[in-house]
Amino acid sequence: MPSTPSKDAPLIIVGAGVFGLSLAYDLATNRSYTNITVLDRYMPPVPDGSSVDVSRIIRSEYADPFYSALAVDALAEWRSSNWASQYHESGFMMLSAGNSPYMQGYRSMRQEQKSQQPMELFEAHEADKRIKTLYPGVQTDLKDAAVMHNNMGGWANAHDAIRGLATRCSLAGVSFVTGAHGTVVSLEKVGSRITGVQTAAGTKIFADTVVLATGAWTNGLVPDMNHNIMAVGQPVGFIQLSPDEAKRMSAMPVMVNMDTGVFCFPPTPDTHQLKLARHGFGFATQVQVGPGRVISTPKLRGNNAATGYLPDDAEKALREGAKFFFPEVGDRPWANLRMCWYTDTPKSDFMVDYHPDTEGLFFATGGSGHAFKFLPVLGKHIADCFERKASPELQNKWAARRGESGNSKRAMSGDGSRGGPQMRVLTGKEQAKL
């Protein structure tokens, strides 16, 4: 087995999101690594990363017992003094009028595992009355929906949590390089070993180990993992409320419609905005990155969240979700729209492992739209994989597999939690507007 990287050797982590920062912090504070440099296009929170803006769901409802247990650990940390200032325990609920397989799978897992989590199941005939008694701010009609509800759950301020973690990393001695000098355009390689990176500034930075925590940009740097990870965009929209409207609607949980994939948050306390998004199969781009090689990826240069553009069908899905969840304001013009970029894997498992053939290259990516909630505990598990100390179960679950060639639409089936239509490749005109 290859040796563990030396703790004083140069270590580059490319990517200042959940994976990169949580690993950097754990290595620097708990494992005595002294020569860590984090590179990214922007200072964290990176404006077009998947770990930004005002809110991310915090929940423990997983049909997979591994992620369920990990989420319970993370929730305990979100409620602790270290993270409580970023966490809002509004409650969480999943709903379905179509007998969601994911909800059924979670229910079965709870029974098999004899889970003690405080989840309540409301059948269609009782859900509307029960939920609106608990949460007077809920407007949506739940008379035909089954609901799973947990008062231990809610949302976290992603922007503030990432900014705070970046500050902790800096105080622990982690270095940051951003702008052109932090924008990695390729990997430096000698034989079968990665020796560093080349940046958009034309500079080269050398290290014994390079960690790619590059999310949706990963396939642009590593040509042979294309069938194991794929970048897809998911629509996000915001509706502006008045302070009085926000106050009246504030007594509501985070809500997810498992039939459509659209989910929503309570009004944000400071900006009084409602946020809606879709956890679906997303939209892919087509970008040529070499002779005969086309991948889905966001732009490397420039802020992918700046245009405010969504394809018509993506905007329509959000609009329908807004009318469903908030009939009072569902027709209101959007305050902002953007695409959130996921890094999907075939079964929505993270990819945290060394490259199977290339020495000195470690992956910490594949968040698949659900990694943020694990932020307080994720770093130690990534670091265990980095130091080759993780359990066989974890190593197998997060392994960097090459995957099989074929139709990527079918390959990225996920863990059953997605809703809405199958993944669609954007037209050239649509892609140009992103």
Which pLDDT tens digit goes with each residue over 223-274?
888 779 999 999 999 999 999 999 999 999 999 999 999 999 999 999 999 9
What CATH number corresponds to the domain at position 352?
3.50.50.60
Domain assignment present for residue 46? The answer is yes
Domain assignment present for residue 284? The answer is no
Domain assignment present for residue 370? The answer is yes
pLDDT at residue number 1 = 63
Evaluate if residue 52 carries a pLDDT over 90.
no
Q: Which residues of 246-265 are buried (b: 16+ CB within 10 A; e: fewer)?
A: beebbebbbbbbbebbbbbb
Helices (H) and strands (E) in the chain, counts: 11, 24
Domain membership of residue 173 as a residue range: 1-55+157-229+345-403
Evaluate if residue 406 carries a pLDDT over 70.
no
Q: Cα dist. 324→153, 257, 422 in Å?
A: 22, 10, 21
Q: How many CB atoms lie within 10 A of CB 197?
A: 23
Which pLDDT tens digit goes with each residue over 196-232?
999 999 999 999 999 999 999 999 999 888 779 999 9
Residues with Cβ within 8 Å of 14's Cβ and at least 6 positions away in sequence, in order, are 20, 38, 39, 40, 184, 197, 210, 211, 212, 213, 214, 221
Which pLDDT tens digit goes with each residue over 69-97?
999 999 999 999 999 999 999 999 999 99
Domain assignment present for residue 26? The answer is yes
Domain assignment present for residue 371? The answer is yes
Determine the average pLDDT of the residues in 327-351.
97
Domain assignment present for residue 303? The answer is no
Domain assignment present for residue 386? The answer is yes
Evaluate if residue 349 carries a pLDDT over 80.
yes
pLDDT at residue number 403 = 57
* Counted domains in the chain: 1
Domain assignment present for residue 93? The answer is no
Which pLDDT tens digit goes with each residue over 104-128?
888 888 887 776 667 899 999 999 9
